[in-house]
């Protein structure tokens, strides 16, 4: 198959990439590890750079199949073989299927701390924030997954705020899609653990969708509750401020009537 992946014929290369993707799906016989150890990553990365949409789709599928799962060697293997930049190029493609696969693959790779840091360094965060505003719900879900993994690590919180990632996460929390809501609530729960961003989340409008999630019996409710628990002092201060304004207005009206 490695020979066929390098064979100078577009159809043969595409089928070889699909065959490797099929082998990498699941985890029978440690196929993922064997694929990396036997040098299959490099030809797939080369195919991801090939200027043909069908081959790019097949290569993106193969890379995603390799990246899925708990094996860290496959994730770092893709990074070592210079597969991250081609993924970002696929994410910038005009082809929706390539964009979906590339961003989902980025999410799978971001489960590894080293690869996640490298993805942020080369522009993966900027890419995910930009595509988080897409009209395609699958792309939104994949971006939400990637951003949720970044929110787990406090070292990325400043970058998320700087690139507008927190606002995009809050927008996803407002969607009716349960998967987007769950990733967004998970992200906000981790961001709210950072005291520097508790007030930021409240001012950016993050409280309203979190409270809305708490009103329904769905999976996001758990993370929404955690996020609200962590920003409780901001919430208390917010409502205390509203109460003082309300009280001041009524006291002023009473004072005006009496005198």
Q: Do 157 and 196 form a contact (C-beta atoms < 8 A)?
A: yes
- Name which of 80, 133, 82, 87 is nearest 106 in CA terms: 87
d(CA 34, CA 134): 36
Q: What is the pLDDT of residue 255?
A: 40
Task: Give the predicted TM-score (pTM) of the model.
Answer: 0.86
Q: What is the pLDDT of residue 57?
A: 96
Degrees to nearest 5, angle at CA 28 with 25 and 29 = 125
d(CA 208, CA 104): 28
d(CA 219, CA 181): 9
d(CA 75, CA 85): 14
Q: What is the pLDDT of residue 117?
A: 97
In eight-state DSSP terms, residue 153 is: S
Tokens of 227: 């996020």
Quick count: other Cβ atoms within 10 Å of Cβ 16?
25
Domains detected in the chain: 2-258 (1.25.10.10)
Residue appearing with tokens 């929110």: 151
d(CA 210, CA 250): 31
Tokens of 144: 């939400």
d(CA 21, CA 38): 15
d(CA 21, CA 35): 10
List per-block mean pLDDT (blocks of 10 residues) for the chain, which spans 259 residues. Answer: 88 93 79 88 95 95 93 94 96 96 97 97 97 96 97 96 97 95 95 91 90 81 84 54 44 42
């Amino acid at each position: 198959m490695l020979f066929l992946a390098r064979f100078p014929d577009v159809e043969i290369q595409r089928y070889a990439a699909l065959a490797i993707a099929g082998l990498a799906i699941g985890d029978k016989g440690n196929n993922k590890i064997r694929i990396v150890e036997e040098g299959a990553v490099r030809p797939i990365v080369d195919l991801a750079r090939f200027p043909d949409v069908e081959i790019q789709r097949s290569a993106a599928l193969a890379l995603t199949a390799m990246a899925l799962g708990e094996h860290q060697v496959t994730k770092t293997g893709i990074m070592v073989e210079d597969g991250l930049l081609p993924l970002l190029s696929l994410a910038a493609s005009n082809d929706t299927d390539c964009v979906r696969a590339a961003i989902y693959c980025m999410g799978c790779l971001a489960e590894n701390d080293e690869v996640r840091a490298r993805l942020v360094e080369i522009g993966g965060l900027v890419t995910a924030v930009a595509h988080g505003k897409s009209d395609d719900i699958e792309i939104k879900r994949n971006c939400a997954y990637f951003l949720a993994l970044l929110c787990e690590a406090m070292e990325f919180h400043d970058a998320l705020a700087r690139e507008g990632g927190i606002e995009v996460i809050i927008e996803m929390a407002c969607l009716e899609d349960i998967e987007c809501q769950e990733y967004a609530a998970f992200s906000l729960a981790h961001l709210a653990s950072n005291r520097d961003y508790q007030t930021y989340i409240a001012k950016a409008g993050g409280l309203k969708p979190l409270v809305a999630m708490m009103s329904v019996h769905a999976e996001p409710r758990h993370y929404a509750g955690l996020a609200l628990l962590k920003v409780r002092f901001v919430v208390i201060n917010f409502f205390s401020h509203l109460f003082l304004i309300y009280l001041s207005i009524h006291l002023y009206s009473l004072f005006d009537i009496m005198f």
